[in-house]
Structure 1
Amino acid sequence: MSSSFPASSPALLDLDLRPGRPPVLQADSVGGMGWDEYRDALRAAVVRHGAVLVRGLGLRDAEDVADVFRGLATTLMTEREAFASRQSYSEGVYSSSTWPANQPMCMHHELSYAVEFPSLMMFACLGAPTDGGATAVADSPTVLAALPRGLVDRFEREGWLLTRSYNDEIGATVAEAFGTEDRAAVEGYCRANAIEFQWQPDGGLRTRQRRAAVVRHPLTGQRCWFNQVAFLNEWTMAPEVREYLVDVYGPDGLPFNTRFGNGEPIGADVVDLLAGVYDAHTVREPWQAGDLMLVDNIRAAHSREAYSGPREVLVAMADPMRAGA
């Protein structure tokens, strides 16, 4: 990680540890701690547990959230290679991804398909939905241990492959994903980030990138299931959505899809198995307005559950790491 903890152990926080939900910290329980000590203790707790939800900070607006995000992180990232659009509130502070409220966003590790990805995810709730909408988490070493050995071995040997098709009609556009529409700049980014690319006759862009599916945590050494194999796979889409997209764009023109590292398709049975293991190890806590949640992006996967009613959750991707570093 970009940041490091001091040689002396940070103060232990009084976390509420209950089965079925992430550790919860009441903000008033650390009233006697200075900001530096609070930051170090909180970051250490996130590494230890994978995620911590802080309740009672009283976050009221995007400015409050940005101040807290910048106080807890060493570096806030500018997102590249997004798969869905976001609103930008300030530098490094975004809305959650644009995604239908009635469709869950499955478990994933943010930007695990990128060469540079955040080691820390930060979420802040300014408006809680009336029902659902939790940012749930799953411990990736536990998920890895629960997966069939043969499947893990294959992914460790081959990695996984992400294919993307960019157009102006569905998913993130080239400009949203790469921060520019200039072809030379896009091509330069792809070459620098181990992404194969091909421009289509209609001006669209198709890309392929192969990444590791299992990595070691840089601080703990734990082996972690770290990828977006299930989330970005065609079989995770609602059947009617998948059928429509295949009919319109063809099987190779989906906005995103995943394959085994050797290029072979991943079947619905594998996606269902991954989803089932994630479900068995998911913990959640309903959002309350003013909540802050920190997630170790390598140690824990996160999801966004379907919801009803307005939901406003701000996001920051922090302290970048490079694959293999």
Structure 2
Amino acid sequence: MVEGPTGAGPDAPARALPVLSAGSPTGSAADWAARRRDEVHTLVAEYGAVLLRGLGVRSPAEVAEAAAALGIEQMTERERFAPRRSHAPGVYSSSAWPADEPMCMHHELSYAAEVPGLILFGCLTAPTSGGLTRVADSQQVLRMLPPELVARFERDGWLLTRMYHEIGVPWQEAFGTGDRAAVDAYCAAAGLDHEWLPDDRLRTRQRRAAVLPHPRTGVPVWLNQAAFLNERTMDPAIRDYLVDVYGPDGLPFNTAYGDGTPLSAETVETINAAYRAASIGEPWQSGDLLLVDNLRMAHSRDPYEGERDVVVILGNPVRFAGHVLS
């Protein structure tokens, strides 16, 4: 049974995720996923995401089996912005993030040369309260943003600068290797300018398109992390401390317009406000799966209380023409 989302009109954001209930399935979650695979992907194509309820997944291995049954081609994460545990190749914990702080809307790895087309989340343990994985349709977000802001990003793209040092994810973890030559090769292939600094530090810069056509529909989507990875999204006290200790160029990450012009606080808030207006979500139940079109739907995480264990699989990588800008 499918519980579809409702909205006030064709351009109004839906207020609930479509939920496909498994009822009392016979066999494993993977068996059910294999039988309903076409239906699941049809719902994702229509709505951008679908929650699969009642499958009772209890382990990372069961989530991986369901992903395979759904035809998801797992990919290895590179350039992660927050720590994760790796349960198995291509099977990760959700990003480590303080439970009492929200994680803002973002498209996973939208700054990488190869972007996950799909994300499968598996909830092994639902929190006592909060902790929703919300999604926002970036087609709607794009329509909500001021035309002049969109035009600027379409013209210049966006710039991400990262500093790998003792604060944040070490470069060895982000790139999956301790071999500097391998990092050099990755950066050259992925369009990253990089600079090795004293004390085993690494600085990278990458310029990316901010608006791209969805590869299946051709509809433009607001596909970037310009707001989420901007310094103004940090807690001001933490940002001020990091700037005081490491200098303005020492922040773990920061974003700008593609020509290097800093983003104003108003610009960052305008983008985040559009995400909030388009945000939808459904409280987790243990055993749920959530399949998301990562190219169309941004996702976030609410603060929560209690234990929360969500497994993540990134899959079906996509390379966009015109995404990597020089």
Could you say whether these structures have the same fold, taking a TM-score greater than 0.5 normalized by the shorter chain as the test?
yes
Contact map agreement 1:133 1:306 (CA 8 A) in 2: yes
Contact map agreement 1:108 1:303 (CA 8 A) in 2: yes
Output aligned runs, 1:101-112, within 5 Å. Answer: 101-112=99-110
Output the amino acid matched with 2:117.
S
Match of 1:205, SS state, is strand
1:22 aligns to what? 17
Output the amino acid matched with 2:145.
L
Output aligned runs, 1:232-311, within 5 Å. Answer: 232-311=229-308
1:17, distance to aligned residue in structure 2 (A): 2.5
1:202, distance to aligned residue in structure 2 (A): 2.1
Q: 1:154 to 1:56 in 2, by over 3 A?
A: same
CA distance in 2 between partners of 1:271 and 1:129 (Å): 30
- For residues 203-234 of structure 1, the C-alpha deviation after alignment (integer angstroms, 9 at most, x for no partner) is 20000000010011111111100000111000
Match of 2:92, SS state, is strand
2:179 aligns to what? 182
- For residues 43-81 of structure 1, the C-alpha deviation after alignment (integer angstroms, 9 at most, x for no partner) is 121121011011101112222112112211341011000
CA distance in 1 between partners of 2:287 and 2:24 (Å): 16
2:73 aligns to what? 75
- For residues 4-46 of structure 1, the C-alpha deviation after alignment (integer angstroms, 9 at most, x for no partner) is xxxxxxxxx7343244121111112988x97545112211211
CA distance in 2 between partners of 1:184 and 1:305 (Å): 39
Contact map agreement 1:233 1:256 (CA 8 A) in 2: yes
2:141 aligns to what? 143
CA distance in 2 between partners of 1:210 and 1:107 (Å): 20
1:126, distance to aligned residue in structure 2 (A): 0.6
Q: 1:274 to 1:316 in 2, by over 3 A?
A: same
CA distance in 1 between partners of 2:127 and 2:32 (Å): 33
1:187, distance to aligned residue in structure 2 (A): 0.6
2:125 aligns to what? 127
CA distance in 1 between partners of 2:307 and 2:240 (Å): 29
- For residues 279-311 of structure 1, the C-alpha deviation after alignment (integer angstroms, 9 at most, x for no partner) is 111111111100100110011100011111110
CA distance in 1 between partners of 2:161 and 2:107 (Å): 17
2:52 aligns to what? 54
Match of 1:101, SS state, is coil
Identity across matched positions, percent: 55
CA distance in 2 between partners of 1:243 and 1:307 (Å): 26
How many aligned residue pairs are there? Answer: 312
CA distance in 2 between partners of 1:238 and 1:202 (Å): 27
- 1:197 is the counterpart of 2:185: no
Farther off after superposition, 84-93 or 133-142: 84-93
CA distance in 2 between partners of 1:175 and 1:219 (Å): 34
Give TM-score, length-normalised by structure 1: 0.92
1:156 aligns to what? 154
CA distance in 1 between partners of 2:235 and 2:32 (Å): 48
CA distance in 2 between partners of 1:324 and 1:305 (Å): 33
CA distance in 1 between partners of 2:178 and 2:169 (Å): 12
CA distance in 1 between partners of 2:300 and 2:57 (Å): 22
Contact map agreement 1:120 1:318 (CA 8 A) in 2: yes
Structure 2, gaps ≥5 residues long: 7-13
2:9 aligns to what? none
CA distance in 2 between partners of 1:270 and 1:35 (Å): 42
**Among candidates 88, 91, 96, match of residue 90 of structure 1:** 88
